Amino acid sequence: MIQLENLHKGYQVDGHIVPALQGIDLSIEKGEIFGVIGHSGAGKSTLIRCINLLERPTSGRVVVDGTDLMNLDDRQLQEQRRQIGMIFQHFNLLSSATVAENVAFPLKLAKRPKAEIEQKVTELLTLVGLEAHRNKYPAQLSGGQKQRVGIARALASDPKVLLCDEATSALDPQTTNSILALLRDINRKLGLTIVLITHEMHVIRAVCDRVAVIDGGKIVEMGNVVDVFLKPQHPTTQEFVEQVADSVELKEIVSHEKADKDRTMIRITFLGSQTYQPVLFQTMLETGTPFNILQGTISRMKDTPYGQLIVELEADQEQVNKTIGSLRQRGLEVEVI
Amino acid sequence: MSITFENVDWAEIWQGSLDTLTMLAFSTLFTAIIGLPLGILLFLTSRGQLLQNKALYAVLSFIVNILRSVPFIILMIMLIPLTRLIVGTSLGVQGSIPPLVIGAAPFFARLVETSLREVDRGVIEAAQSMGASKWQIIWKVLLPESRPGLIAGITITTVALVSYTAMSGAIGGGGLGDLAIRYGYQRFQTDVMIVTVVILLVLVQILQTIGDRLVAYFTRR
Ligand SMILES: Nc1ncnc2c1ncn2[C@@H]1O[C@H](COP(=O)(O)OP(=O)(O)OP(=O)(O)O)[C@@H](O)[C@H]1O
Ligand SMILES: [Mg+2]
C-alpha cells in the first residue's frame, strides 16, 4: 500500500543542511498497522509527513496505492491526499467549527452534496461515540474526545491509509487505551492501513503488526512486533523494549543472585496459546528440578498473548541442561541469564 | 460662567453627525475591502507561509510602513491631487473618503496580518493533509479561525477612523470635526465644541461595545 524508497530529507538551518532522514526504505502492506518508534528528534514526524508530502523529501520515492506522489502537480496531490487521512498529537481541530462541522470539513472541501455530508457525519460520530456532542466546540471537549473528532474527520473522505503522528502522546493512559482500541477497531472494520508513530513501546505492543525502529534518520530494526519485542537486536530497540518490561528490578535480582554457583537463572518466553498451559509445571515435575519463580508477566501483543517468566533452577549444570532441553522441546523459548 | 448652548445650531449638528456617519460607513467599508486582502497577502507572502515571497513581502511591507508613518493630516494634504482624481473634489464628505481609506487600510492590513499569524499552524497543516487548496485554506481555515481577531481589528480601525474623520474637518472635510473646528476652535464657541466631542465620544463607545460583543460571540476557545 505504501512504498518509501531511499528517502532522504534535509532541513536548511542557517545556511547548512541538517539531515533528518537518511535513506529510508519501507514497504507497508494493505490492511496492516505499522508502527514507527524512535527517540525525540529521530525523524519520526518527518517520516510520516513525507507519506502525504506535507514535507517534501529531498530525494527518493513515495508511492501510495500505486501512485508516485512526487510526480503529481498541486491539484493531483490534493486529490490523492483525500485518500490519506491524518491525525495529530495536538488534534488540530478547527476551533471555530463545531464537532459536526469539523467532521464535515474534508467533505466540504471535496464539495460533496449536503445530504451525503449529513449522513456521513452522523455515521462517523456514531462510530467514534460522539453523537451526543455534535454541536459542541472543540474547546468544550476533553483530549480523548478531541482525538475522536480527529479520527472521525480523518475517516470522512473514506481514506485507504490513516497516518497517526503521536496520536496518543497528549493523552492519559486510560484515554490512550481507548483511542488505541478505536484504531484497532476501525482497522478491522474498514480494512484501513494504519501508520502510527510513537515514542512509547506499549503503543506499538498494543496495536501494531509490524514495527520499524528509527534512529538518527535511519531504520535500525524492522520486523513483526512479536519478533522485535522478544528478540530486540539493536541497542535502541532494546531500550524501548525495556520501557515495557519490568527489567529494572530484574537487573537487581540478577546481580544479587549471581553469586551462588548452583543456581541458574533462565528466562522462559511463552507465545500464543502456550501462554495459558501448565508447561513449566509439567517439565519440572518430569525432570524433578527444584525451581523458584522470581518474576513473571503475561501480556498481549495486539492479538497475540505472551508470557515471560524468570525462573531460578536450584540444580547442577547437567540437571539444568536437561531441564532447558525439555522446555525447548515443548516449544518454549529459553534463555540463560 | 455657565454653558448655555446658545451658539448650538441643532440642525447643523444633526447634519454634521449624518456626514460623519456617512464618512465613517464608506471609509470603513473601503478600508475593509482594501485592507483585508492586503493583510492576507502580507501574511501569505511572509516567511514560512503558503505563498512565501521575500521580494513581494518586502515591497508590500515597505508601502504599508510608509503610509502608516506619515501623520494623517499631512497624508490628507499630500493626497489632495489624487483625491480630486478619484472623486472629483477634495472637499466635503466625498473628498474625505479617499484619504481616510488610504490612511486606515495599511493600519488595518497590519492588524489582519497579526490575527492571521495567531491561527494554529497545525490546523492549516491538517487542512492541507485533507487536500485543501490554497483558496480553501484562506476561506475555510484562515478567515474563520481568525474571525474574532479580525473583528477586533476592524473595531479598532473604525474607532481610529472616527478621529481621522474629525481631523479631516481641518481641510474642509465636513462632519462633526468640521463643526468643531469652524465654530469651536475658530470662533471660540466652546459649547459647540463640547456638543461635538460628546457626540463623537458616544459614537466611539457604541462602536467599541458592538465590536466587543461580536468578538465575545465569535470566540470559541
Ligand atoms: N522544520 C524544520 N526545520 C529544521 N529542522 C527540522 C524541522 N523539522 C524537523 N527538524 C529536525 O529534523 C530532525 C527530525 O525531526 P522530527 O520532527 O522528524 O523528529 P521526531 O522523531 O518526530 O521527534 P519528536 O519525538 O520530538 O516529535 C530533528 O533533528 C529536528 O531538529
Ligand atoms: Mg514528532
- Nearest CA to A181 out of A88, A87, A302 is that of A302
Is B128 close to A79, i.e. CB distance below 8 A? no
Residue among A54, A75, A94 minimizing CB distance to B145: A94
A195, A34 in Cβ contact below 8 A? yes
The predicted pLDDT at position A322 comes to 87
Of A235, A244, A258, which is closest to residue A299 (Cα–Cα)?
Answer: A244
Chain B residue with Cα closest to A77? B131
Residues A109 and A150 in one domain: yes
How far apart are the CA of A184 and the centre of ligand 2, in A?
22
Are A92 and B220 within 8 A, CB to CB? no
CATH of the domain at A152: 3.40.50.300
Look at residue A183 and tell me whether its pLDDT is greater than 70: yes
Q: What is the largest CA-CA distance in chain A?
A: 78
Asked if residue A288 and residue A235 are part of one domain, the reply reads: no
- In which band, very low, low, confident or very high, does the pLDDT at A309 lie, cut at 50, 70 and 90? confident
Q: Using CA atoms in the order B153, B155, B158, B162, what is the torsion angle rounded to 10 degrees?
A: -130
Domain ranges of chain B: 10-220
Task: State the Cα torsion B136-B138-B141-B144 to the nearest 10°.
Answer: -120
Q: pLDDT-derived band of residue B44, with 50, 70 and 90 as boundaries? A: very high
Which one has a higher pLDDT value, A333 or A8? A8
Name the residue type at position A113: P
Q: Which of A221, A243, A265 is the last residue of a domain?
A: A243
Mean pLDDT rounded to a whole number for chain B: 90
Host domain of residue A192: 2-243
Write the pLDDT tens digit of every residue in A63-93.
Answer: 999 999 999 999 999 999 999 999 999 999 9
Distance CA B44, CA A238 (A): 46
At A317, is the pLDDT very low, low, confident or very high (cuts 50, 70, 90)? confident
How far is residue A305 CA from its own chain's centroid? 16
Which residues in B lie closer than 8 A to residue A52 (C-beta atoms)? 129
C-alpha cell at B205: 463607545
A159 lines ligand 1 (CB under 6 A): no
Same domain, A307 and A203: no
Statement to judge: residues A191 and A218 lie in one domain = yes
How confident is the prediction for chain A on average, in pLDDT? 89
Q: How confident is the model at residue A250 (pLDDT cuts 50, 70, 90)?
A: low
C-beta A43 within 6 A of ligand 1: yes
Shared domain for A195 and A267, answered yes or no, is no
Give the C-alpha separation, A181 to A58, whole Å: 36
A132 shares its domain with A209: yes
Q: Nearest by CB to B141, which of A94, A139, A163?
A: A94
CA distance B65 to chain A (A): 28
Do A282 and A317 fall into the same domain? yes
Domain B10-220 maps to which CATH number in 3.40.50.1820, 1.10.3720.10, 1.25.40.10, 1.10.3470.10? 1.10.3720.10
CA–CA–CA angle A186, A192, A196 (5° rounding): 85
Q: Are residues A236 and A263 in the same domain?
A: no
Report the percentage of chain B scoring pLDDT > 70: 98
Centre of ligand 2 from the C-alpha of residue A170, in Å: 12
Is the pLDDT score of B90 beyond 70?
Answer: yes
pLDDT band at A135 (very low <50, low <70, confident <90, very high): very high
**Res. B72: pLDDT tops 90:** no
CB pair distance less than 8 Å for A105 and B129:
no
Q: Which of the residues A13, A46, A76, A94 would you substitute to probe the B interface, choosing the one with the greatest number of B C-beta atoms within 10 Å?
A: A94
| ipTM score | 0.84
Structurally, chain A folds into a number of domains equal to: 2
Which ligand is the nearest neighbour of the Cα of A42? 1
Burial of A71 (0-12, 13-18, 19+ CB in 10 A): exposed
pTM: 0.84
Contact B218, A96 (CB under 8 A): yes
Q: Single out the residue in A243, A271, A303 at which a domain terminates.
A: A243
Instruction: Quick: pLDDT tens for A31-46.
Output: 999 999 999 999 999 9
* pLDDT tens digits, one per residue of A214-241: 999 999 999 998 888 888 889 999 888 8
A95 closest CB neighbour out of B125, B130, B220: B220
- DSSP state at residue A56: -
CATH code (residue A325): 3.30.70.260
What is the number of CB-based contacts under 8 A between chain A and chain B?
Answer: 71
Residues of A in contact with B120 (CB under 8 A): 92, 95
Place A247 in a pLDDT band, splitting at 50, 70 and 90: low
Residues A192 and A208 in one domain: yes
Rounded alpha-carbon distances, angstroms, from residue B68 to B65, B71, B104: 5, 8, 8
Nearest CA to ligand 1 atom 22: A45
Is residue A281 domain-shared with residue A294, that is, in the same domain?
Answer: yes
CB A199 within 8 A of CB A236: no
CB B128 within 8 A of CB B50: no
The response to whether residue A40 sits with its C-beta less than 6 Å from ligand 1 reads yes
- Nearest ligand, CA of residue A13? 1
8 A C-beta contact, residue A153 and residue A107: no
